Amino acid sequence: MNRTEKEQVIGELHEKMAKAKAAIVAEPKGLNVAVVTDLRKKLRDAKIDYRIVKNTLAARAAKGTPVEPVADRFVGPTALVMSYDDVVTPAKLLADFMKDRENFVIRTAIVDGKIIDAKGVQALAKLPGLKELRGQIAAMIAQPATKLARLVGTPGQQLARVVGARREQLEKQG
């Protein structure tokens, strides 16, 4: 890789690191191409970047970004997972990926400017994601309106039942 290519990689990484709300530093060892391709696809579908990075370039790119505090963890084989809006989804996807793989290890992460360790990432994975939270909020907002509609409709339904019962009674009498 020549100097201009390195500068281009550093610039691209710096731009992505500057936008990242969450960045997870992991150690991928002994993963075959099919497994990594499957992981990349799942992350890409969730709009999350997965990059195997050269440590020196990543450390230079991290300067002046929210990822800079974890740049000292760029040692050995390093994978960098960055998310730009949802901070829970990457943790969920990686925790699911790690269930049956002992050779993929999370070193550390930075989430909204706070450094967390591997256990913190696992705890983050147990929280509801952004879509789930939005669904819960929408349900909470809709709940009073649903109750109100039911409450307003109940007297009319009861009146209709009384009128219907009276009509049946009158029809039986002739």
- Model confidence, pTM: 0.71
Architecture of 3-127 per CATH? Answer: 2-Layer Sandwich (3.30)
DSSP classification of residue 66: T
Written as tens digits, the pLDDT of the chain (174 aa) is: 788 888 988 899 999 999 988 999 998 888 888 888 988 999 999 899 999 888 999 999 999 898 889 888 888 888 999 998 888 889 989 988 888 777 888 899 999 888 999 888 888 888 877 778 788 888 888 777 777 777 777 777 887 888 888 888 888 887
Nearest CA to 39 among 93, 3, 75?
93
Q: Give CA–CA dist 38/34, Å, rounded.
A: 6
**What are the domain boundaries of the chain?**
3-127, 129-174
